[in-house]
Amino acid sequence: MAFFNKNSKSFIKLISIIYFLQITALNGQLRVGFYSERCHNAESIVSTVVKEASQREPRMPAMLLRLHFHDCFVQGCDGSILIDNVKEAERNAFGHEGLGGFAEIQKAKTQLETQCPAVVSCADIVALAARDAVVLAGGAFYEVETGRRDGRVSDLSFAEQMPDVDDSIEVLKQKFKTKGFTEKDLVILSGAHTIGTTACFFMPKRLHNFTGKSDADPSINPKFLPELRSKCPKNGDVNVRISLDNLSEKKFDDQIMHNIKNGFAVIASDARLYDDNITRAVVNSYLQTEISDLNTSSSFEKDFGLAMVKLGRLEVKTGLLGEIRKVKVKKGR
């Protein structure tokens, strides 16, 4: 008892410090350069893997960009989209059809575990890979905040909140609003469709039965409709892939905004952005060619980077929440 009395102040101080550190960790924040001391090569390792994969598969940048969005929109940016060893995993949801890039995330994770065991989260690898993908496709570089931890739960039912290609603009706006995004964010993040492809699997209603009368979406430019129908004929192969942006499928630019305005959007959800006064105004804001010194493409790329940073903060787990997976997948619920 005498020992305790003699050191009571020091003991209480020690407990206070430990408590403070626990609270600080629990409320940990994302920041640029989170791994600069514990794994200084983390970002370069991910970048190298993405570059090599993109050289082998030209569609890889679009795949990795899409993977990050789908991960973040369901349960936040926690790597839960990667979990695949459960019966009803999140990644098997209808809205996640066609996702790719999983092997590349696994490759980066394996290399990082060799150099920095149990340090870099899968969620951060996905976020970094998405940024590197944008840059490789010609988009602007943006800093990625890191420090996310990985989620432990994967449940297919949680993916019901994902935007659907056939959602109305009202539904799309509501789904994004629920996640804290504005109408401008909706337009900008949809701009990711400036690169990559989609499958005919997502096209039947828009091309062949838009109102239940064997008709097509009237927003499709009449000159474009025959081309889309030839690529995705009624009762055709739903696995055929078509470019989301016919003019610059592999280049990250603002061409998608022109496509939306002129009726050349491929998937219905992109076309719906021109159905609403607010989202239409955002699309048009990137098409102001009457101002000779306005670089609209650079404006879009800058805004896209800002929107991606905002996306990357969505419902993240930091500090003592979640875990750092040692492998890409982990048993979920």
Distance CA 194, CA 142 (A): 17
The tens digit of pLDDT for each residue in 101-113 reads 999 999 999 999 9
Number of domains the chain is built from: 2
User: Tokens 């976020």 sit at which residue?
Assistant: 127
The reported pTM is 0.87
Say which of 70, 96, 208, 258 is annotated catalytic. 70
State the Rg of the chain over Cα: 22
The tens digit of pLDDT for each residue in 89-103 reads 888 888 888 899 999
**Closest of 160, 152, 155, 85 to residue 122, by C-alpha:** 152
In the listed set 159, 184, 212, which residue is the last one of a domain according to the structure?
Answer: 159
Per-residue pLDDT, 93: 86
User: Tokens 């996702």 sit at which residue?
Assistant: 99
Phi and psi at 32, nearest 5°, equal -70, 135
Range of the domain at 255: 169-288+298-311
**Closest of 310, 330, 18, 20 to residue 149, by C-alpha:** 330
The tens digit of pLDDT for each residue in 226-269 reads 999 999 999 999 999 999 998 998 999 999 999 999 999 999 99
Percentage, residues of the chain above pLDDT 90: 77
pLDDT at 332 over 60: no
Residue 184 lies in a domain: yes
Do residues 117 and 204 share a domain? no
In the listed set 159, 188, 221, which residue is the last one of a domain according to the structure?
Answer: 159
DSSP 27: T
Annotated binding site for substrate: 163
Of the listed ranges 1-5, 58-62, 124-128, the least confidently predicted one is 1-5
Annotated binding site for Ca(2+): 71, 74, 76, 78, 80, 90, 194, 245, 253
Cβ neighbours of residue 25 under 8 Å, at least 6 residues apart? 319, 320
The tens digit of pLDDT for each residue in 54-67 reads 999 999 999 999 99
Do residues 141 and 189 share a domain? no
Residue 304 near residue 253, CB atoms below 8 Å: no
Annotated binding site for heme b: 193
Annotated binding site: 71, 74, 76, 78, 80, 90, 163, 193-194, 245, 253
Do residues 51 and 104 share a domain? yes
Q: How many CB atoms lie within 10 A of CB 323?
A: 17
Look up 40 and say whether it is catalytic. no
